[in-house]
Structure 1
């Protein structure tokens, strides 16, 4: 399996974050991608290549152009007013107020970012664009005939919605890749999100779309981030009615119950008959993850990969979360290896 990796991911490097009432050492750091890359190199999973460069049209196909433009200029606007310090929102719009553009970067951040986890830095746009290019390059490899690919994206993306970002995510790499399959002729695409946290941004982007099935296995939103969205009764609206599947699980979920949810998601994907599958690959379901509360073991990821492979579909893996850095590379390689060793040899896009 080919891996796409961009050195520019390191341009987004946060030292601390505000977590549960205090500033702590950041969880989402360049070390994550470096550990995964090192494990892939050691495993011999396949070649590691840099991404190709893609234009902005693929991004604005799923994201609001005004938000994209803001992300591009936010650092310059912030530093003109406040100097070179990490850019955080200083206000959020209350309910029943008007979403009118302001003249202040801190207020504009409040219009677009949903939390305090995703500061804008000098290299944020560079890193976010590189992650998108990794995802699009992986999708292109599959369109060119590869059965699978792994986009080692960082920063992650599944919490970025049509016109908002947060949760360490700026641009929704998986959604952008899914849309690129459609743009190039695929009639149906499935997005399977196996991160511990709900793929709220992906749901938001495709919630009224009939040609994309979104399925997410995640912590109960009454208990964990991103809250407010990801409930089982959210099944899609308008043309997308019936094309969103949420499988929320309680804290403490272990292997057996999690795999049952995976089987449910995979069965629904099989019924949908997609031309390709995009997997939002989070391994923060691991029992040692510092910000998550599921109980999966490293060996479980081999079985997860095997079950996804049983779909027999062209599959793009897009990296999302996972913060137990010592085990991160092992867990990712286990899943990808389990998939690679089990997939049918004939899995390729047919449009």
Structure 2
């Protein structure tokens, strides 16, 4: 039996006994020379499997820094995204708030108690009109940086910031507090809420808030301008402060009081993202001293002479079995536990 093979670039024919058998042979399939996947469906995903990596040039690592030219150093740093080094050692500094109240407002004596139709009330009104000139110039300068600035809209914003700042202090949220107070007022506010529980509530405004003072100043350069506005708040609030032992040291949760305050708001006018924040509180000299808080202390028990322990009672208490004398202006209040006492300064 004889076979005759006919070679074709595409087909392989095998001839046997007059019959032709057609077969496809991979040896003569031209598609094997094409570097292409048979299914283009996931072409991009297959391409993402390969990552081009720039291998380091080890010849350059053997060279010292002095052997490179300035142009080669500049090119290498630009390729790697490294900023050039500067010879000076100055560091960037950003001033977001001032450290004081410039040209602080002096509240008139008896404000909030004197009738505007009386002699003293008319005197206060005249003094306010006298100082209004500089405030209007400051407001005009604020409008150079903020064209949409209006005193009426600012007063609504100031009252909102005032309420939110006190609520944030009562909740002891120190991170959120930075949005409502400046860097000068922040440490003072944190110190006042340290180891205390505060219950604060805003009831109503006895008088609408009023802007009484406005000033602007520049720091370091003339373009770095800050603005300060003093707002008069006459409100009714409820405040109760408890110490770390849970004892009331100031105020009351059921007694509302009228509060007259002068709050200074500051804004970095040169910063387009600047906001009005509480900067300081003006306390006039004629204001009477506030009622001091009640002091809480622990009285240690005196150990008997039969016990082996060492007594920690002071020497002045050891000489007499009577309790220490209390000044006339201090009223002791017994604690329910008997181990701690609270004294109230009258």
The TM-score range, normalised by the shorter chain, is under 0.3
Give me the TM-score of the superposition, normalised by structure 1: 0.22
More strand by share: 2
Give me the TM-score of the superposition, normalised by structure 2: 0.22
Q: Which structure is higher in RCO with an 8 Å CA cutoff and minimum separation 6?
A: 1
